[in-house]
């Protein structure tokens, strides 16, 4: 396991990492290429090196994928009201998270409700009450603007459910959020006009935690700067990452959006193994 960083053709840094029995991560070897400092020899006594990191000291990143909104998915069912330590990666405890947020952070809860109203036609507000049969469970029920009886999550479209989960994830209190949020294809099932609002939520959430999106949506790309975009190419053997900048794309951006440049394969990221 290793890391190779190329800052310029004349400045490269590489490091080899290895797991130690103590649970720490140690440096096996490291070096600088193209500078006056020669690469260091491989280290034989890893326990004495000062390059040690305690993996448990890093805040665990969480990967979110709200793809499963099928009839029997967890997000449409009842959630244990005690499972509120964090939003689960599939959104399975979404109702419990919103229930707890309404009690302890009402401003965040009502902001989520406001964004739901803006995107979901006919949505009025959430109805979150523990089930009569089991006071330890709650389901994502809601009222429509033209109805006076609660509707169930099965009466929400796939896109609407995903949107509520995205809002809960990106608008949660800062102290609830993980250090890194990895979000896979958040555009799935969303109306195009919701993508601009989604980008705004991502920008706001990134003030408190790092947010990394994996997307195939050229339209969503339009709401980010070139410096925030990394494209990945795969040649059949290995993957390479390419970061972009506004200066190198200045001429193109006069006539085309960032998403259009991606579709034209000027940013890379469209290669297939």
pLDDT in tens, the chain (273 residues): 666 666 555 666 666 777 665 555 566 666 666 544 444 444 444 343 444 444 454 567 899 999 999 999 999 999 999 999 999 999 999 999 999 999 999 999 999 999 999 999 999 999 999 888 778 999 999 999 888 889 999 999 999 999 999 999 999 999 999 999 999 999 999 998 899 999 999 999 999 999 999 999 999 999 999 999 999 888 778 888 889 999 999 999 999 999 999 999 889 877 654
Alpha carbon of 271 to those of 106, 215, 227, 252: distances in Å? 46, 15, 21, 21
pTM, whole model, 2 decimals? 0.78
Q: Which two tokens stand for residue 24?
A: 């720490």
CATH number, span 62-224? 3.40.50.300
Say if residues 187 and 201 touch (Cβ distance below 8 Å): no
- Paired with 12 in beta bridges are 6, 33
The residue extents of the domains of the chain are 2-57, 62-224
The C-alpha atoms of residue 136 and residue 157 are separated, in whole angstroms, by 26
For the chain, what's the residue count?
Answer: 273
Tokens of 20: 């130690």
């Amino acid at each position: 396991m290793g890391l190779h960083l190329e800052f310029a053709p004349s400045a490269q840094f590489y490091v080899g990492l290895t797991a130690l029995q103590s649970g720490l991560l140690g440096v096996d070897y490291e070096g600088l290429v193209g500078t006056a400092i020669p690469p260091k020899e491989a280290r034989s006594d890893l326990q004495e090196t000062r390059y040690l990191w305690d993996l448990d000291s890093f805040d665990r990143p969480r990967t979110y994928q709200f793809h499963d909104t099928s009839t029997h998915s967890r997000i449409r069912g009842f959630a244990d009201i005690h499972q509120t330590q964090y939003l689960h990666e599939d959104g399975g405890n979404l109702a419990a998270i919103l229930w707890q947020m309404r009690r302890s952070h009402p401003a965040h809860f009502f902001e989520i409700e406001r964004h739901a109203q803006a995107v979901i036609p006919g949505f009025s507000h959430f109805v979150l009450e523990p089930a009569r049969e089991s006071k330890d469970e709650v389901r994502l029920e809601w009222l429509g603007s033209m109805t006076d009886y609660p509707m169930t999550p099965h009466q929400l479209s796939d896109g609407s459910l995903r949107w509520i989960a995205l809002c809960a994830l990106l608008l949660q209190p800062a102290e609830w959020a993980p250090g890194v949020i990895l979000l896979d294809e958040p555009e799935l099932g969303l109306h195009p006009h919701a993508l601009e609002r989604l980008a705004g939520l991502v920008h706001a959430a990134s003030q408190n935690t790092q947010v990394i999106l994996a997307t195939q949506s050229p339209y969503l790309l339009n709401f980010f700067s070139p410096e925030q975009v990394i494209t990945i190419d795969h040649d059949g053997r290995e993957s390479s990452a390419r970061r972009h900048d506004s200066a190198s794309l200045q001429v193109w951006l006069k006539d085309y959006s960032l998403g259009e440049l991606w579709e034209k394969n000027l940013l890379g990221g469209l290669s297939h193994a």
